[in-house]
Amino acid sequence: MLSSGGYLLRTAFAGALLVGGFAVVSCAGDSDKAGANANGKVTVVYEDNTIKPKDKQAVAVVRKSRVFEQAADWVNKSVALPHDLDVKVTGKVPPGVTDAVTQPDGRTIYVPPPFLTQIQGILSDVVKTVKRPALFPEAEFNADDLTALSTQFIFGHEMGHALQRQLLLPNLGLEEDAADGFASFYTVNEVGPGPSLAAAILFDELARDEGKLTLEGLSSDHPVTQQRVFNFLCYLEGSDPKRFYEPLVGAGYLPKTRAPLCPQAWAMLDYGWWTQLRPHFSEAFKDQGDKTQENARDHLIAEMKAFEKELDKLRRGQ
């Protein structure tokens, strides 16, 4: 049953953003370190002597891109963490870990090198078999750049878990949705469209490999894979419909039925994360962060009003 390489790959990958979701054990009792006394730092370590030769190439691609360090820098600049967060690219992972995972206390993120090799392998096939979306730059439509960009998004997801767990953020939905949301929030605001697009391309391929929905997929604490593709695209489109409507909705990547909801969905996500993080801003970031949160609130109110105006028309068109 496990003879097919494709099955193994898919199984390993399907666990990717899943394992972290099981362990929602919070670190209650540590919240006394919140706020001004919090001086935890994010550090990224590549444990070279644990990385197997077959994984060195994919690790080198990600290392050169500095996507982990960029996210670490942003968190270090903006957020006062109660504890250090160690990001370890290492072959020495806890038993059973095959994918990027965040430990239950939010203080360690493991990135196993074979996981990066898997991503690169899948994307090597994608560039040969999938037509490049016009929105995605031709110069970056290669396995290495797609690997770095999609890893940036996936790492945003893990960073979302780490923040939720260290800061004991109150969730109103599933933690996995919030983690995907942070990946969109962070990359769309701080990087641009590349990571969302690359992640959509990667997850679309994974969904194709998974094939028919199974009970396991439907009962996961993650949205089903194809749904995540549309969520990534919806937030991106909603962040700037003037720029992204034509290339994403007009070109048929994001259905017209979903698109009208996306500007408000993005505004809610953006306001939500700025509001969640606000009590935890670093001293240095506080003024800028407070202003950004207030702007996000104004933007959400404007989007809600705009949506209300369109609603009758949208319902009539259904």
Q: Which residues bind Zn ion (CB under 5 A)?
A: 17, 20-21, 176, 179
d(CA 256, CA 261): 10
Nearer to Zn ion, 21 or 195 (CB): 21
| Shortest Å, Cβ 175 to Zn ion | 7
Nearer to Zn ion, 10 or 165 (CB): 165
| Shortest Å, Cβ 176 to Zn ion | 5
Structure tokens belonging to residue 203 = 């997850």
Nearer to Zn ion, 57 or 98 (CB): 98
Structure tokens belonging to residue 17 = 């953003």
| Shortest Å, Cβ 103 to Zn ion | 12
| Shortest Å, Cβ 96 to Zn ion | 15
Nearer to Zn ion, 163 or 179 (CB): 179
Q: Phi, psi at residue 89, to the nearest 5°? A: -90, 105
Nearer to Zn ion, 21 or 112 (CB): 21
Q: Say how many C-beta atoms besides its own lie within 10 A of residue 313's C-beta.
A: 9
| Shortest Å, Cβ 187 to Zn ion | 15
d(CA 106, CA 86): 9
Nearer to Zn ion, 103 or 117 (CB): 103
| Shortest Å, Cβ 94 to Zn ion | 16
| Shortest Å, Cβ 317 to Zn ion | 36
3-state secondary structure the chain: CCCCHHHHHHHHHHCCCCHHHHCCCCCCCCHHHCHHHCCECEEEEECHHHCCHHHHHHHHHHHHHCHHHHHHHHHHHHECECCCEEEEECCCCCCCCCCCEECCCCCEEEECHHHHHHHHHHHHHHHHHCCCCCCCCHHHCCHHHHHHHHHHHHHHHHHHHHHHHHCCCCCCCCHHHHHHHHHHHHHHHHCCCHHHHHHHHHHHHHHHHHCCCCHHHHCCCCCCHHHHHHHHHHHHHHHCHHHHHHHHHHCCCCCCCCHHHHHHHHHHHHHHHHHHHHHHECHHHHHHHHHHHHHHHHHHHHHHHHHHHHHHHHHHHC
Nearer to Zn ion, 166 or 292 (CB): 166
| Shortest Å, Cβ 186 to Zn ion | 14
Nearer to Zn ion, 57 or 171 (CB): 171
